[in-house]
Structure 1
């Protein structure tokens, strides 16, 4: 099933069920007001939502209305935890190669992860408000999962059983703030502003065989200012699958229902063409493009985002239909 949260003037919005083709929606009134309620009582509430979803798809839902992504908040407008990994080691390798640094061996056995702000997510069509262009504004196209309760010490296989939903992510980054923050030795903070999520969260059965052993084998499409810059495969080159990422958190603590875990920037390796490395599938963040330029030409030439720039991020299923709807945003200065 597909679930979204509509704006209603409150912090947590109103839960709606959305049809498979993203054409219609129905308020989940009488079942649950918010998505967090469903995650807290998944076994009891999700079957009721599934019944409503089935009725909506069959045209039997009496109070359905046209679905409008612009009315959506993030599916979870605020969450108990947002932990973002860096599961695509090709991305890390490019960043390191651009500054002539080796990738530590432990990066291939122990996932990178940071804990981001989870109190103020933004919706798929909300503007990205940034105080200054000088901060180095970048998009990052990612996949995320939402968990139920997963106990401390869970194995990757057990962690996979705790995954409830999939979501699309724009993990906005302020690249020019990152070096000084990392130099402090305490990780990201101001360089990671509010994160945006796609219109709908979907259950694993919605993507069928594309979900395989903790990886989503679909294409991440990134369109910057109307130009398609990324068509990256999200599945094959994901070094750590989502079960491993969730288990990484579980090493020393319980993971509670409503935890969101991100994949990190979806990234694919280059290919050799006539003795030269090319990246035909493009990129899912500008920083990676700049690293490629540095490796090839000695310096980056692609600039970061400016006020007025737009970014659209979308994934389509094997039937050609949008799975999550699109993240479609504009970069703006504070009012």
Structure 2
């Protein structure tokens, strides 16, 4: 099943069911008005949405319309929780090697995780608005899952059974703000602006054999300014699977339905697969040549993040964003005004 949220001027948008080929959609308000409502009682709403999905794919849905990702919000426009892990330890190791630091051995057994802002997510085609290019604007292509209710102390195996949906993520980072924040010993805040999500969230069964061992086994395709820069496989070198990440987040607290848990930047040890964030490219340059030379994103730059099945068909739709200055962007103000 594939679900999305249509922009309708409200904070939480309108839940729609999207066809498998991402060509058509139908409004689901007769079942649940928003995705959060559906997640709150998934055993009740999920089967009804699945029935509507089957009807849509059979061409029998009434009032179906063309699906247009640019009219979508994030599948969950705001969430009760957004916790992002760092499951691809190769990425962490490269960052530390580039600055000549040893990696603590516990990083291989205990996931890194931070809690991001979840009150104002970006849609798949919304601008990355930033007050200054000097902040070091970077994209980060990731996979994320949406959970049902998760009890505190859950085991990794049980945590996997709580996964309701899978999504693509652009976890934007402001790299030049990170060192000073981490030096304070209190984690990310200003260096992690609004996160963007792909237009469509899919149920794990929709991925077939590509969803196994708590991982999505497909290449993550990343284009920067129209040039392909990465295609690492999201199922390779993911040290901690999603069950482990969810269990880590739930060690001392309950997670409520609609919590989002991210994988961290997808990264493969095979450098020929390219990169999912500029920082990793810069680390490889620093290790090889003693200094990074690739610059971070500038105003007007674009990034496209997408994942395809074996037949070459898009699974989640694409995240397609441009970088825009704060002063010239009416989009941010418009989004806030619509919510008032």
State yes or no: 1:35 paired with 2:35: yes
Structure 1 position 42, deviation (Å): 0.1
Q: CA separation in 2, counterparts of 1:6 and 1:46?
A: 18
Q: Is 1:306 aligned with 2:298?
A: yes
Are 2:83 and 1:101 equivalent residues in the alignment?
no
Q: CA deviation at 1:28?
A: 0.2
Q: What aligned pairs does 1:135-146 form with structure 2 within 5 A after superposition?
A: 135-146=135-146
1:182-207 per-residue CA deviation (whole Å, 9 max, x = no partner) reads 00000000000000000000000111
Distance 1:78 1:319 in 2: 33
The alpha-carbon deviation at position 320 of structure 1 amounts to 1.4
CA distance in 2, matches of 1:319, 1:176: 40
Once residues 208 and 171 of structure 1 are traced to their aligned partners in structure 2, the CA distance between those partners, rounded to angstroms, is 26
Matched with 2:61 is: 61
Is it true that 1:322 corresponds to 2:299 in the alignment? no
TM-score by length of 1: 0.97
Unpaired segments of 5 or more residues in structure 2? 329-340
Which residue pairs with 2:225 in the alignment? 225
CA RMSD between the two structures? 0.5
SS in 2 for 1:291: helix
Instruction: After TM superposition, give the deviation of residue 99 of structure 1 in Å.
Output: 0.6
Within 5 Å, give how 1:183-262 maps onto structure 2. 183-262=183-262
1:290 to 282, 295, 301: 282
Partner-residue secondary structure (3-state), 1:177? helix
Partner of 2:336: none
Give the match for residue 159 of structure 1. Answer: 159
- 1:163-178 alignment runs, 5 A limit: 163-178=163-178
Aligned-partner Cα distance in 2 for 1:217–1:280: 18
The residue aligned with 1:274 is none
Deviation at 1:18, TM superposition (A): 0.2
Q: Which SS does the other structure have where 1:316 is aligned? A: coil
C-alpha deviation, 1:62, in angstroms: 1.4
Q: Which residue of 2 aligns with 1:275?
A: none
Query: 1:90 is matched with which residue?
Result: 90
Aligned pair count reads 327
Structure 1 residue 264: deviation in Å? 0.2
Q: CA deviation at 1:87?
A: 0.3
Query: What SS is found at the alignment partner of 2:48?
Result: helix
Q: Distance in 2 between matches of 1:265 and 1:155?
A: 24
Distance in 1 (CA, whole Å) between partners of 2:71 and 2:144 is 21
Q: Describe the SS at the equivalent of 1:232.
A: coil
Cα deviation for residue 319 of structure 1 reads: 2.3
Structure 2: how far apart are the matches of 1:150 and 1:319? 35
Gaps of 5+ in 1: 271-278
Report the CA distance between 1:130 and its aligned residue: 0.4
Aligned counterparts of 2:153 and 2:172: Cα–Cα separation in 1:
31
Q: C-alpha separation between the residues in 2 aligned to 1:68 and 1:328?
A: 13
Question: 2: CA distance between counterparts of 1:83 and 1:247?
Answer: 12
- Does 2:44 correspond to 1:52? no
Q: CA deviation at 1:31?
A: 0.3
Distance 1:123 1:62 in 2: 26
Q: Aligned-pair distance for 1:58?
A: 0.3
